[in-house]
Structure 1
Amino acid sequence: MALLRAFSHFSAREIPAVDSDTELAAAPSAHGLILSMVTESTPLLIVAPSSRVADEIRDEIISYTGKEVLEFPPWETLPHERLSPKSDTVTKRVSTLHALATRPAQIQAVVTSIRGLIQPIIADLLSEEFPVLEIGAECGLQQLVLNLSYLGYARTDLVERRGEFAVRGGIVDIFPADCEHPVRIDFFGDEIEELRFFTVADQRTFAPVTGSLTIYPCRELALSEDVKKRAASLAAEFPAIAEMCEKISNGISVEGMESLAGALKPEMSSLLSFLPENFKVMIIDAPRAQSRSADLISTNEEFLEASWSTAAMGAKAPIDFTDQVGAGGYFELEELKNEASRRGFSWRELNSYQSNPELENSLDTFASVPIYNSKVEPFIEDVKSWFNAGYQVIFSAMGSGILERYRDLLAEEELPVRIIKEVNTALTNDAIYLLTSHVNHGFISERFKTALITEKDISGQRSSSKDSARMPSRRKKAIDPVELKPGDYVVHEQHGVGRYIELVQRTVAGTSREYVVIEYASSKRGQPADRLFVPTDTLEQVTKYVGGEAPSVHRIGGA
């Protein structure tokens, strides 16, 4: 779907140039449209205030343009948190950076969250060549095994999870972190004779792999010889972390070893350093993004102090390790803004409101559609009014079943209705068009006589509900803090079972936000329980405990 073609009667000329100083402000429901029009001529790094907003904007731009939009997800963990990010997250990050480096002319948009922007990246992450598998290619089995181990894949007897591989004679099974199913590689000597997907349940192949398959790392911290030497040196200097460092020095990947990245690979870069020269930076909802950035930096510093300034790994005395690992901490937003200026990247903001309402705003022609809260009658009356006034009226849903239902409802009112599968040219205003897309909320423009309405505008639903082919590890059912009672048990994806205490409001960098307070067992005997403050707009990693008996509360970190 390339929905933007339907709106050829207005163009990106209505939007101030990305390099200009004009403030950009528009209704949030029009952000996807505006960004899509900009990316038609200007490649963008789009930075959203949260991962949820980033996912929604990416899906909308794909629906509007029909083109590829790269995703750069943040780690689920903090840089100094002694937990490793998920393998599929790492693979997605590396594959995006690799695409920017190898085919920059084909990329018009990269979407990330503020957390993804401020997180440091190992400077030489792309210095290694990643294995490319295809039938007929010369690829020694033993060399492939060494490469997989180096890239962070774990060798097992039976492949069941992403990031695992197994070897049986001349066959290698591997579960790439960016694939829905594992892959079986059948060798004839050093040549790949067959590549097929197989199912985890019965380990049987079911479909061939078409084309080539690039194997990206499962960990961003590769265990190179230099890293091994640094780990051995740290083990001797800091006995408290000797167990972890000794394993790393022996080439063994350890849970949470990324928290040592600042000491093992101190040469860090920002995402900006991986962007092609013609890119621009666009920050969505800048006040909220700045608040989130300040909050993340503060929380990460607390984890740094808690992890390395107290007794660790069974040590009897605290260790002062903050100077060594500090390089791996988040960048300040102002620091990145200065870097963008040095590199010649334009840095713009697209907000929901103007800082000065009295100034002229060319984007105020795009207004939000009313929320109907499942009341169909007002929706039909509005559609009639717009259609009779000569508006171009489009209704969008995420499934064909919804389209058929609304086609029947509108047809009962004797309105001309057409369901279309593709948009190839501008749509006329002699019918109401129904189509499928991942646009979350619509907009109205009196100036251009256009109305786009979505099923979520009618239902009143604000959160994403699309049934897409996401990785199973990404499926979450976030809690509603309003439904929690003090003492309820909740499960944080990284830290495990905790107890809900309260909903509080804190002010960070001049912006107030609500936080869910979760209590965990004390990390030190005889000390008060630890508490974790989770912003209410980033609750995708927290679910309500549904077990039968009262569980034991974990320590922060999941122990």
Structure 2
Amino acid sequence: MILKELVREYTSASVLNDVFSKLEQSESTRALLRGVSGSSRSVILSALMQKRKGFLVVVGENNEDAGYLYNDLVQINGIDKVFFFPSSYKHSVKYGQFDPSMGILRTDVLNKVFSTSEKEKEFCIIVTYPESLLEKVSTKDNLSKNTLKLNVGEEVDMSFVIDVLLFYTFERVDYVYEPGQFAVRGGIIDVFSYANEYPYRINFERNRVESIRTFEIETQLSKQNVKCVVIIPNLNKEEKEGIPFLDYLPKNTIFDFNNYNECKQRIQQISKEITNSCDT
């Protein structure tokens, strides 16, 4: 029996209906499920989210554990419903080595939360771990001020887009190969936003967006046509003036921990290590 079939079985289970009812009654309800191991955690959580809309934050014990959870949840729900929210640093936050690829994933999640209306009848699952939750994120106001959205067919001056990218501190280069860069060739702007896995190629016809495509970095060849683009700079560098990620989420967000107390202790331990490393 595949995972999706198990989800259908759990969806109609009486125990899950009881948990769902309690969660809907109060925003501060806690539920403890015993005997859950392996992929059954992902199956149960997926079945629960089939019954409701909104956000579910699944907290793994560490990066590796979160990765296994993410893979299971994607297999069940699809990649468009599950997002990974990692630490933006290589190895550990205490070493302070920023990883651009992780920055993309974090910004993608922030943009998803920020742009999702409470009226939308869909669910979204965010998988993370203690180290990532410790880091602050950009405020909603700052994200809004540093977001440029372009749509195919939109009337916009190409020079205006270039000015905005420079204001966002994007680096102008000959060829785009990493986040935070853009290149201009004739009526085309290539830009690598921190809100997408692949860079965008925006084709202008006079003062109109003619087409938008993603493209491969290695070959510089077009990959997929899209209707719109969201351009966001690196906001992770402003985390010291930011807010906790949990403050970003709606009040009806569900949180899942394998062990809440251990997660809390892990965050406190990392915070202490960072403080000690700064003092030495």
Is 1:152–1:217's contact at 8 Å kept on the other side of the alignment?
A: yes
The equivalent of 1:38 in structure 2 is 48
CA contact (8 A) 1:155 1:166 kept: yes
In structure 2, what is the Cα distance between the partners aligned to 1:34 and 1:163?
A: 39
For residues 171-205 of structure 1, what are the alpha-carbon distances to aligned partners after superposition, in whole Å with 9 as ceiling and x for unaligned?
212233454543322222221223334444454x4
Q: Distance in 2 between matches of 1:62 and 1:201?
A: 27
CA gap of 1:278–1:22, structure 2 versus 1, over 3 A, is closer
Alpha-carbon distance between aligned partners in 2 of 1:274 and 1:180, rounded to the nearest angstrom: 22
Q: Could you tell me how far apart the structure 2 residues matched to 1:159 and 1:88 are?
A: 14
Partner of 2:231: 215
Partner residue of 2:87?
74
Q: 1:282 to 1:199 in 2, by over 3 A?
A: closer
CA distance in 1 between partners of 2:50 and 2:123 (Å): 11
1:322-333 → structure 2 map (5 Å cutoff) = none
Deviation per CA, 1:395-426, whole angstroms, max 9, x where unpaired? xxxxxxxxxxxxxxxxxxxxxxxxxxxxxxxx
- Aligned: 1:170 with 2:187: yes
The match for 1:96 among 94, 109, 113 is 109
- Given residue 128 of structure 1, which amino acid in structure 2 is its aligned partner? K
**From 132, 136, 140, the counterpart of 1:120:** 136
Aligned to 1:280: 254
Deviation (angstroms), 1:15: 4.7
* Residue 52 of structure 1, aligned match among 64, 75, 82: 64
Which of these two proteins has the greater Rg computed from alpha carbons? 1
Instruction: Give me the CA root mean square deviation.
Output: 3.0
- Contact 1:81/1:304 (8 A) holds in 2: no
The question of whether the paired residues in 1 share the 8 Å contact of 2:10 and 2:44 is answered with no
Corresponding position of 1:61: 73
- Residues 185, 108 of structure 1: alpha-carbon distance in 2 compared, 3 angstrom cutoff: closer
Shift of 1:302: 2.5
Task: Tell me which residue corresponds to 1:316.
Answer: none
| Contact 1:91 1:216 survives alignment (8 Å) | no
**What is the DSSP-based 3-state SS (H/G/I as helix, E as strand, rest coil) of the residue aligned with 1:96?**
helix
Contact 2:150 2:228 in 1 (8 A): yes
Q: One-letter code of the match for 1:275?
A: L
Give 1:296 shift: 1.0
CA shift at 1:284, angstroms?
2.2
Match of 1:10 in 2: 13
- In 1, distance between residues paired with 2:216 and 2:179? 12
Does the 8 A contact of 1:48 with 1:113 survive in 2?
yes
1:292 to 2:266 alignment: yes
Equivalent in the alignment of 1:439: none
Asked whether the 8 Å contact 2:146–2:168 carries over to 1, the reply is no
Aligned-partner residue type, residue 273 of structure 1? D
Partner of 2:37: 28
Give, in angstroms, the shift of residue 157 of structure 1.
Answer: 1.8
SS of 2:236's partner is coil
TM-score, normalized by length of structure 2? 0.78
Q: How far 1:50 sits from its partner (Å)?
A: 1.1
Q: Deviations over 1:291-338 (max 9, x none)?
A: 4223311221123224xxxxxxxxxxxxxxxxxxxxxxxxxxxxxxxx
SS class of match (1:161)? coil
Which residue matches 1:196?
A: 213
Query: Measured at CA, do residues 6 and 65 of structure 1 come closer, stay the same or move farther in structure 2, by a change above 3 Å?
Result: farther
Partners of 2:86 and 2:128 lie apart in 1 by 6
Residue 96 of structure 1 aligns to which amino acid in structure 2?
Answer: V
2:107 touches 2:194 (CA, 8 Å); kept in 1? no
Checking the alignment, whether the CA contact within 8 Å between 1:88 and 1:178 is kept in structure 2 is no
1:134 counterpart = 2:151: yes
Measured in 1, the distance between the counterparts of 2:123 and 2:149 equals: 21
TM-superposed deviation, 1:274: 1.0
Matched residue SS, 1:214: strand
Higher helix share: 2
Counterpart contact for 1:51–1:113, Cα < 8 Å:
yes
Count residues in correspondence.
262
Unaligned runs of 5+ in 2: none
Do 1:58 and 1:69's aligned partners in 2 also have CA atoms closer than 8 Å? yes
Task: State the AA in 2 paired with 1:48.
Answer: G
Q: Which residue of structure 2 lines up, in the alignment, with residue 434 of structure 1?
A: none
Take 1:98 and 1:177, find their aligned partners in 2: how far apart are those partners? 10
Give yes or no for contact 2:176–2:192 (8 Å, CA) kept in 1.
yes
Deviation at residue 99 of structure 1 after TM alignment: 2.0
Instruction: Please give the TM-score of this superposition, normalised by the length of structure 1.
Output: 0.42
Cα gap change, 1:269/1:218 in structure 2, threshold over 3 Å: closer, same or farther?
A: closer
Question: How far apart are residue 134 of structure 1 and its match?
Answer: 3.1
Q: Is the 8 A contact 2:85 2:109 kept in 1?
A: yes
Other structure's SS at 1:144 match: helix
| 1:131 positional shift | 1.8
Tell me which amino acid in the other structure corresponds to 1:97. Answer: L
1:126-525 paired onto structure 2 within 5 Å: 126-128=143-145, 130-177=147-194, 179=196, 181-203=198-220, 205-221=221-237, 262=240, 265=241, 268-306=242-280
Give the match for residue 232 of structure 1: none
Which amino acid counterpart does residue 34 of structure 1 have in structure 2? I
Three-state SS of the structure 2 residue aligned to 1:27 is: coil
- Distance in 2 between residues matched to 1:163 and 1:82, nearest whole Å: 19
Tell me how far apart the structure 1 counterparts of residues 31 and 189 of structure 2 sit (CA, whole Å).
56
Give, in whole Å, the separation in 1 of the partners of 2:45 and 2:278: 37
The letter of the residue matching 2:256 is M
Instruction: Say if 1:126 and 1:107 are closer, same or farther in 2 by CA, change over 3 A.
Output: farther
